[in-house]
Structures are given as structure tokens and as C-alpha cells.
Copies of this chain bind each other. A is one copy, B any other.
């Protein structure tokens, strides 16, 4: 308690006492007087020590937590946050509007960090039209519970659409879920129990890893090579461990933008059959293909019915809809629907009906075409500008909305300085389980117009040249 001895609160100040206390504690933390992971005194201890009300301490702690200085372990106490967790401040995968009241006035600079399309790409007028048509057509039915497996007619129109993507399946195996993240959660609930082992690609989407961890899984990373996951290492893992699930993004992988070769896809399916393990395919960008012949869904090749297929619409349509599709192997549907019902009963009936009508009226096809045209232009500009950078190395993905580039300095350093200059990057380290140092950066053009791509890459070059090691 020695550091707390020196704290004096002013009875006559204009500042409320809890704000004064917050300021004092904040300074102690920033100065390093109270160390990362050090436990703070309990509310009772500190209020007694300082002779203030418990509520003063409660409010000061609350403010410290909001500002990211401390965190709470349930049933244990309050601790100082580690400095390394600062990375959260300048990188967030899915959320561009976070804890901000006035969302309309945000100016984040040039944002290469997110895969989420900019809202100026959303077909708002068409969607408003179908919502109103649905409300006129279905009335109150649009607000009842939907079937937990999903609105029948949407499942029908999606089953037809999947056929266009090469996936032949029956409507019984198709479920509508509240976004791909929920699909990952449902599959984890269905297949992963405490202490089970699962395999993920390395690097990978850490939002999935968080779900697997919460189920108590042991997670093994297998590296991604230029043509997909390292099959030899994967087989070694499958030999040594009873693996329950392999989580992969075979097309335009996040973050590497790598697409598995046809041969590798078959090899993966063969291993799944040989070792009796399920594969979770997370598909979010297959449609955005600019000539990559390998980018068919793994599910379309699934001769052994071992692939659970999730298609997200958040990167190719509107993320706020919270709609995705899950295609399950035969006989797994029933259990997944039961788990879906236990997770949130069902997905919004109105939104499902509106999306169904959107597809049936042909809006979906034309939206996709328009979006691909816009993305193709951005893709070419980004490729061209990155190619000019002497310090950058990358493999062309021939599709998708992001590049995975490599430099010779630590990406978190580059991201830090880029942010100071108004450019937001996704540094490679955030895609590894151990946040290891990485020289890779994921650059996405989902939010950036042509001019911003050029300007952003120019600034990136400046930041590199200021920060590269001498020699």
C-alpha cells in the first residue's frame, strides 16, 4: 500500500473526488510506480486508507477500467493492465465504431486495417425497398420467432445460390445463422469439449481462436505455406494428437490472402477422412475472385462429407445485417440447430425475409457485380503501388480485398508510426496466438478509395524510411 500513502484528495476542489483519485492512480500507473499485473487494493481497503466513501473508489476504478488502465478478474480483484495490450488501441478486426457516441464525426484517417467494406458501398435504397415490401407482405409474421434453422425461403434461395458457387447441397443441411462468428461458436459447442485438441492455420483469425479457447480447447498452430497449410506438419500433428477439428480459410485466407492449391485442398480432405476429423471452412471472400483458378470452396470438393462450411456476407455485403450461412455434413444439422436455439433461439425474422427478397429480386447478383468492379480497380491500384516499393515483398492473391506484405522491420513498429501519420495498418503479430513479432502487414482496401490507397502507401514508405535500422 506504500504508493497510496501519498494520495491526498482535495475537499474543496471543483473536481469530484473520484476524478481526483482517478488522476492520481493514473499517474502512478503511467509512471510505473504501480506495475503491470500488480493487484490494486480492494475498494474497502483503499476507501478506509484514504478516508473516503467506497463509491469514490468504485467510480475511480470504473473510470480507470474504461480508459484501459486496469482490468478485473472475476472473484479475484483488480489489476494493472500490461503495456503490451496497448495494441488493442490501434487495431480491431471487426469494429470500426467502438464506444463512440458521435459516430458520424469519426475521421480515422486512411484505414487499411479492416476487411469490412466502407458503408458507402452498402445498397441502402434497395434494402429499404425490400424491407418495406416484406412488411407489407408478411406483417406481424416478420416479427415472430423464426425457425431456428432459418426462414425456409431464404434457405431455399441460398441453396440455389450455393449451387452457383459449386456447392451442391440439400436445403436440410443449410442453416441461417447470425453471422459467421456465431457459426464458429456453434461448431465449437458441437464438437469441442474441455481439453480437446484443434488445429488452426498460422497466422489465423484470432476471433475464432478466442472461441476455441473459451471452450477449453488445446490449440495447435500449423503454418500456412504459399499453396496452403503445411500438409506434412498437419499429418504429424494428426498422428500425435486426437484432433477434433481443423479450422481453415482456404480461399484468400485471413490474413495471408493465400488460396490453397487444388492439390492441397484434396490432400486436406484426404487427411480429414484418414484421421476422422472435421474441417471448419470459413468462407468470406470466394466471390471476389480476379482470376484465381484455385479459389473454389473446399466444400465443393468434399467427397467425404467432412467439411462444415460457413459463408459470411459481412465482407461482401453489409456486416450489420448479422446473417451468414452454415452448411453442415449430413446428420450434423439437428445438433447444430439445437445449439443455435440454445444460443439465441433464432436469427431476426425480418432481416432474413428481407435478404431472401433481396436475392429473389436480383439485387444480390447486381450488387456483387458492382462491388467486384470497385474492388478490382482498387486491387489493381494497390498491387501497382505496392510493387513499386523496394522494401516490400508479397505474393499476388488474384482476388480478395487484402495483401499480405513483408518488410524487414517489425510490423508493430511500422503500424505504430503509420498511425501517428494517419494510416491504420493491421500488423502481423495480432494474427498469431502468441502475438509473436512479425514483419508482415495485412493491407486491405475495403475502406479506402483510389486516392487514399496511393496516399496511404506513400505515407507507409515514409514511415519505413524513417524507422528502418541503419545499415
Contact = CB atoms under 8 A, between A and B. Distances in A.
Interface of A: 58, 61-62, 65-66, 71-72, 74-75, 78, 94-101, 103-104, 116, 119-120, 122, 124, 127-128, 131-132, 135, 139-149, 152, 170, 172, 178-179, 181-182, 185, 189-191, 193-195, 207, 210-211, 214, 216, 276, 314, 318-322, 330-332, 334-335, 338-339, 341-351
Given A334-B65, A344-B179, A319 B72 contact: no
Nearest to A156: B101
Contact of A145 (B116, B132, B142): B116
A77 to B, nearest CB: 10
Given A66-B172, A320-B350, A343 B103 contact: no
B124 A128 contact: no
B320 A98 contact: no
Contacts of A135: 124, 128, 131
Given A71-B334, A103-B141, A172-B62, A322 B348 contact: yes
Contact of A99 (B97, B122, B149): B149
- By DSSP majority rule, is chain A's interface helix, strand, loop, or mixed? helix
Contact of A62 (B58, B71, B98, B330): B330
Top 5 nearest A-B pairs (CB, nearest first) are: A119-B140, A72-B331, A194-B194, A143-B318, A320-B349
Nearest to A182: B344
Nearest to A70: B331
20 contacts: A72-B331, A72-B334, A74-B331, A94-B145, A95-B147, A97-B144, A100-B147, A104-B141, A119-B140, A120-B140, A122-B140, A131-B131, A145-B314, A181-B343, A185-B342, A185-B344, A207-B341, A319-B345, A320-B348, A320-B350
Contacts of A131: 131, 135
Contacts of A141: 103-104, 119
A320 B181 contact: no
Given A101-B152, A124-B135, A320-B144, A65 B346 contact: no
A463 to B, nearest CB: 28
Nearest to A63: B172
A22 to B, nearest CB: 14
B144 A191 contact: no
A170 B207 CA distance: 28
Nearest to A317: B143
A345 B98 CA distance: 12
A141 to B, nearest CB: 6
A78 B179 CA distance: 30
A471 B62 CA distance: 67
Contacts of A132: 128, 132
Contacts of A124: 135, 139-140, 142-143
A178 B58 contact: no
A94 B341 contact: yes
Contact of A142 (B58, B320, B335): B320
Nearest to A185: B343
A279 to B, nearest CB: 14
Contacts of A334: 65, 71-72
A173 to B, nearest CB: 9
Given A321-B348, A342-B207, A342-B210, A127 B147 contact: no
A216 B141 CA distance: 36
B190 A331 contact: no
Residue among A104, A119, A345, A351 having the largest count of chain B Cβ atoms under 10 Å: A345
A322 B343 contact: no
A120 to B, nearest CB: 7
A119 B101 contact: no
A339 B207 CA distance: 10
B321 A143 contact: yes
Contacts of A128: 132, 135
B343 A190 contact: no
A147 B332 contact: no
B345 A78 contact: no
A193 B216 contact: yes
B345 A94 contact: yes
Contacts of A74: 190-191, 331-332, 335
